[in-house]
Amino acid sequence: MVSYQAYTKGNTKKPVTLEEWKDHKWQLTNSIKTISQFESFTGITFTEKECKQIEKTIHKFPLNITPYYASLIEKGNYRNDPIFKQAFPSPAELKISRYDMTDPLHEDKDSPTKGITHRYPDRVLFLVSNRCSMYCRHCTRKRKVGDPDHIPSKEQILQGIQYIKEHNQIRDVLLSGGDPLMLPDNYLDWILTELRKIPHVEVIRIGSRIPVVLPYRITDRLASMLKKHHPIWLNTHFNHPRELTHSAQEALRKLADAGIPLGNQSVLLAGVNDCPRIMRKLNQKLVQNRVRPYYLFQCDLSEGLSHFRTPIGKGIEIIESLVGHTSGFAVPTYVIDAPGGGGKIPVMPNYIISWSTNKVVLRNYEGIITTYKEPDSYEPIFCDRNCDDCVLQLKLEEADVRKTIGIERLLTDANDDISLVPNGNLRLERRTE
């Protein structure tokens, strides 16, 4: 591991003090952006041929690593190092396969106003910053991050807020980017204040990798600013247990002490964390630090990520090794973000083996096959969504009258639909001929 002292030695400029090292502004002004900066900081060297290929990659997908994150690389075996692989460009990023897309999740297509993606009925994704302190090599929004054309202006942010104001079904706003915590405290404070003025916004979420790559940004001042705007939730992005350093743990402690429920979204990455033992350790360390594992993502079909992809079977194998084996709250939901904007689809192992009207046959994590006896009598509740006449008592003043869609709609008695049919079904088209 390279310490800040080593940085001091390798640096011909003024030596850095521990105080400077722990100052997030120092970290940002001293970010590693070129191969030679990386070489002089870490002592790792590349051949001329390697440099050429890396340069080509950087030209397409820029390099940016905080000295803090780079200091976690273990130099001796850097080629297999999970920190190195997430931070340092690989020529493999230039391989674009047939199925790769620049915007696989259709975040731009599902955008009613610039910076907003409104995919789900009651919540929106709101991109408020395009800056990141570290450019993750596996970023799904590689196309946008750091690009001056995509910097959200104040005007654009106001338009996003206006959209949220005008749509009262939005009860959850998810701030992302880039990294929202790259914004100055007072600017973020302003955005949160504006969102809090909207009565139908119940919760605000922040998606940020800052606790992992620049933990010194989590200052007492930031935590107490965020605390003013509760309920605020924060999802971060740890992928490997080695990222949970003392500094990262300290950042998480500050956020948790400010009453912010913390979640983690990891991405399953070949050569980084595609291992049941690594994932178990990661999730156990997270809960030890009051972070609830939220999602484990299958790697997206974004351009330049093919070398990071694993088969879905690897994710199932990992979940199989967690459920039952460790605390239930240390198990994330494994999801595939559907290409084409279908949203997150949970894919978990199967536990139901078979069933009759009388019994369900299940298996547990140990492989024991067991049965659950269904109730002898169950009075089915006819549900036409006419809640006023129902024996069950919802009786909430503001209970939402919501249109049901999708599978939920098929399951209710509220309408006569018996199937969902994809557009362009030839058999049905023949009927109208």
Ligand X SMILES: *Cc1c(COP(=O)(O)O)cnc(C)c1O
CB of 125 to ligand X, least distance (A): 4
Is position 141 annotated as part of the catalytic site? yes
Long-range contacts of range 119-122, CB-CB < 8 Å, 24 or more positions apart?
Answer: 119/341, 119/343, 120/343, 121/169, 121/402, 121/405, 122/169, 122/170, 122/171, 122/172
User: Residue 229: left (phi > 0), alpha (psi -120 to 50), or beta?
Assistant: alpha
Is position 390 annotated as part of the catalytic site? no
The catalytic position among 78, 120, 187, 294 is 120
Cβ-based nearer residue to ligand X, 119 or 227: 119
CB of 294 to ligand X, least distance (A): 7
Is position 123 annotated as part of the catalytic site? yes
Phi then psi dihedrals of residue 405, to 5 deg: -135, 170
Is position 120 annotated as part of the catalytic site? yes
Q: Read off the amino acid at residue 139.
A: C
Cβ-based nearer residue to ligand X, 24 or 123: 123
Of the candidate residues 54, 125, 182, 299, the single one contacting ligand X (CB under 6 A)? 125
Tokens, residue 338: 């559907």
Is position 295 annotated as part of the catalytic site? no
Is position 385 annotated as part of the catalytic site? no
Of residues 211, 292, 230, the one with CA closest to residue 24: 211
Residues in contact with 266: Cβ distance below 8 Å, sequence separation at least 6, in sequence order: 237, 238, 239, 273, 279, 282, 293, 295, 296, 297, 332
Residues binding ligand X: what is the number (CB under 6 A)? 7
CB of 347 to ligand X, least distance (A): 14
344 binds ligand X (CB under 6 A): yes
Cβ-based nearer residue to ligand X, 42 or 117: 117
Cβ-based nearer residue to ligand X, 174 or 301: 174
Question: What is the DSSP track for 90-112?
Answer: -GGGG---TT-BSSTT-TTTT-S
Q: Is it true that the peptide bond before 180 is cis, omega within 30 degrees of 0?
A: no
Cβ-based nearer residue to ligand X, 163 or 216: 163
Tokens, residue 279: 């994932």
Phi then psi dihedrals of residue 302, to 5 deg: -75, 155
Cβ-based nearer residue to ligand X, 292 or 344: 344
How far apart are alpha carbons 101 and 302 in whole angstroms?
Answer: 5
123 binds ligand X (CB under 6 A): yes
Q: Which residue has the tokens 């058999």?
A: 427
Is position 290 annotated as part of the catalytic site? no
Is position 300 annotated as part of the catalytic site? yes
Is position 363 annotated as part of the catalytic site? no
Q: Which stretch binds ligand X (CB under 6 A): 35-43, 120-128, 182-190, 309-317?
A: 120-128
Q: How far is CA 90 from CA 85, 223, 230, 273, 307, in A?
A: 8, 36, 41, 17, 9
CB of 231 to ligand X, least distance (A): 14
119 binds ligand X (CB under 6 A): yes
Contact map string, positions 174 to 213, toward ligand X, x by CB under 6 A:
x---------------------------------------
The catalytic position among 7, 69, 139, 217 is 139
Contact map string, positions 99 to 118, toward ligand X, x by CB under 6 A:
------------------x-
CB of 379 to ligand X, least distance (A): 33
The catalytic position among 68, 85, 123, 309 is 123
Cβ-based nearer residue to ligand X, 119 or 281: 119
Instruction: Give Rg (Cα) of the chain.
Output: 24
CB of 150 to ligand X, least distance (A): 16
Cβ-based nearer residue to ligand X, 33 or 119: 119
SS3 355: strand
SS3 2: coil
CB of 235 to ligand X, least distance (A): 8
120 binds ligand X (CB under 6 A): yes
The catalytic position among 132, 144, 254, 334 is 132
Phi then psi dihedrals of residue 52, to 5 deg: -60, -45
CB of 237 to ligand X, least distance (A): 13
Cβ-based nearer residue to ligand X, 140 or 247: 140
How far apart are alpha carbons 199 and 190 in whole angstroms?
Answer: 16
Q: Is it true that the peptide bond before 178 is cis, omega within 30 degrees of 0?
A: yes
Q: How far is CA 225 from CA 86, 152, 186, 408, in A?
A: 31, 22, 9, 40
Q: Which stretch binds ligand X (CB under 6 A): 119-127, 149-157, 187-195, 223-231?
A: 119-127
Is position 221 annotated as part of the catalytic site? no
Give the binding site for ligand X (CB under 6 A): 117, 119-120, 123, 125, 174, 344
- Residues known to be catalytic: 119-120, 123, 132, 136, 139, 141, 300, 337, 344
